[in-house]
Structure formats: structure tokens, C-alpha cells
Amino acid sequence: MLLNNFFTIEEFSKDAATFRATVRLNEQHPVFAGHFPGQPVVPGVCTLQMIKECVAYSLEKEVRFTTIQNCKFSRTILPGEHRLLEIHGACTSQAGEWLLNASVQAGDAVFLSLKAKLISDF
């Protein structure tokens, strides 16, 4: 949905339960014209979608959120300043769901911390 349009994956690594994606934001994406004109910020829903798409990329299957247990937006992502982001995730399978702990950061700056459940019905 947003992959290869709003953002691209520059680097990706994973092991049995974790993944790390370095993503590049598309500063020219039309969403920034309205969010917000002259002072663009990455919408929170887009940040969540990037995480979901990185989980799907890692698992090689489509997923959807069923529960977001904890989501903390701690800083604003400014596309002009934060072109490269790191998305870290740890997924474990439990009773047909994926339990996810994830973060979005650039260097020492953490923008989002997330604890959620996802499923794949595809």
C-alpha cells in the first residue's frame, strides 16, 4: 500500500523472530501537501502502516492488526530531516496470531514504540 510509494526499503535483515528495516521516506509524496502545508510531518497512521508492511515483508504474507495494546508516539517524524528511519520488530507466533514489539527510530531518536497483535487471514 505505501511500500515503494510513500517509503522504500533500503536494507532489510531478519532472523527467526526479529527484523530490522532501514526505510527511506519519499519527501515528495502528496500526503505531505496536506499534512501539513509548509511544515510536513509523517502522519501517525502512515507510521503504523509502514510497520505493518515491514512485518508482512518479513513474514512473506499479508497481515492486519487485530489489537494495538500499546502505541507511544514520542517524537514527530519530519520527512525533510528524517529521510532514513529504522524499523525494528520482534514477532512471535502464538495461537494463530503474531505478537509484535516494534519501534521506529533514527539514531538515538525513538519516534514510536508499539506492542500489537496481528493475524494473517490470507
Tens of pLDDT along the chain (122 residues) come to 999 999 999 999 999 999 999 999 999 999 999 999 999 999 999 999 999 999 999 999 999 999 999 999 999 999 999 999 999 999 999 988 999 999 999 999 999 999 999 999 86
Residue with cell 527510530: 105
Residue 98: is it exposed, middle or buried by C-beta count within 10 angstroms (0-12/13-18/19+)? buried
Q: How many CB atoms are closer than 10 A to CB 36?
A: 10
**Containing H/E element for 31?**
helix 31-34
At 90 the pLDDT is 98
At 23 the pLDDT is 98
Number of domains in the chain: 1
Q: What is the dihedral of CA 12, 102, 23, 57, to 10 degrees?
A: 50
At 13 the pLDDT is 98
How far is 105 from 34, CA to CA, in rounded Å?
Answer: 24
Would residue 2 count as lying in a domain?
A: no
Domain of residue 27: give its range. Answer: 7-119
Would residue 63 count as lying in a domain?
A: yes
The CATH number of whichever domain residue 86 belongs to comes to 3.10.129.10
Residue with cell 494495538: 68
Would residue 111 count as lying in a domain?
A: yes
Would residue 1 count as lying in a domain?
A: no
- The pTM of this model reads 0.96
Would residue 113 count as lying in a domain?
A: yes
At 122 the pLDDT is 66
Backbone angles phi, psi at 18, to 5 degrees: -130, 160
- Strand-pair partners of 18: 90
